[in-house]
């Protein structure tokens, strides 16, 4: 129970990695506010799972690319639990695969808003309520290697999150630590939608661990970065990809 009495916000917490993070942080004793945009059923199921295990959680709908959506989430969290101690910026997505040549400005802006602007707005809104604590930003292996075909906008936004993580670590230390994660092939709806099955099988064959990741693999690392056991770590962007990419 390394986060007993602490409050965590997990954005995009209704499914996959976000849901696993919410459950894992609750296992460490944190009160958890779960943001979702469209995954209402998943968010409520996550709240029910945490509550059934003796924890405390709420689900809050909101578009985190808007100041209003962010303000609602943070205000409801503080009203319910009194503070913000851990922020996990997990909201994000590819939206669609598009090359630069075929990409309209609207798509570029939508990807940047979903991945990067939401992270900026959440951190800015939470800071007045964070005396001490930890921020964990979910970047991507795509930020390391440029991503697969048609994912330049996504990879660029995640690369910016890595840079933001480094800058914030210097700006917010020593009281608030900021770290990032760069997940590779994790078995989620992201890859169910955007990655061909033969690519995933190829990953499994090439990976030293011979499997795809699962959401709890990422959540375990998030829980570590959120508690004081990682107290000498800040400004890092950690790879979690089964050994396919070394940085």
Provide the annotated active-site residues: 154
CA angle 90, 93, 97 (to 5 degrees): 160
Token digits of residue 222: 């998030």
Token digits of residue 235: 């400004």
**Inter-CA distances, 33 with 16, 22, 242, Å:** 16, 8, 29
Please list, in sequence order, all residues whose beta carbon lies within 8 angstroms of the beta carbon of residue 241, skipping any fewer than 6 positions away: 141, 182, 183, 184, 185, 207, 213
First-to-last CA distance in the chain?
32
Closest C-alpha to 31, from 97, 66, 79, 94: 79
What is the rounded distance in angstroms from the CA atom of residue 214 to the CA atom of residue 5? 28
Say if residues 72 and 98 touch (Cβ distance below 8 Å). Answer: no
- The backbone torsions φ and ψ at residue 88, rounded to the nearest 5 degrees and listed phi first, read -110, 110
- The backbone torsions φ and ψ at residue 3, rounded to the nearest 5 degrees and listed phi first, read -120, 25
Token digits of residue 243: 């050994």
């Amino acid at each position: 129970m390394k986060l007993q009495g602490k409050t965590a916000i997990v954005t995009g917490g209704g499914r996959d990695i976000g849901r696993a993070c919410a459950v894992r942080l609750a296992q460490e004793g944190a009160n958890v506010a779960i943001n979702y945009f469209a995954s209402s059923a998943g968010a409520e199921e996550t709240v029910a799972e945490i509550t059934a295990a003796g924890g405390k959680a709420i689900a809050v709908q909101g578009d985190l690319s808007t100041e209003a959506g962010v303000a609602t989430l943070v205000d409801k969290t503080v009203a319910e639990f009194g503070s913000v101690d851990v922020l996990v910026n997990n909201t994000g997505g590819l939206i669609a695969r598009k090359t630069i040549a075929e990409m309209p400005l609207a798509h570029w802006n939508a990807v940047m808003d979903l991945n990067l602007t939401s992270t900026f707005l959440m951190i800015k809104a939470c800071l007045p309520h964070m005396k001490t604590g930890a921020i964990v930003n979910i970047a991507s292996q795509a930020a390391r290697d440029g991503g697969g075909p048609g994912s330049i906008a996504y990879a660029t936004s995640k690369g910016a999150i890595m840079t933001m993580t480094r800058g914030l670590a210097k700006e917010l230390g020593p009281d608030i630590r900021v770290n990032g994660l760069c997940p590779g092939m994790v078995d989620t709806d992201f890859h169910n939608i955007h990655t061909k099955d033969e690519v995933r099988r190829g990953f499994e064959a090439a990976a030293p661990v011979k499997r795809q990741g699962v959401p709890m693999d990422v959540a375990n690392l998030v829980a570590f970065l959120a508690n004081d056991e990682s107290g000498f770590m800040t400004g890092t962007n950690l790879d979690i990809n089964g050994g396919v990419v070394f940085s």
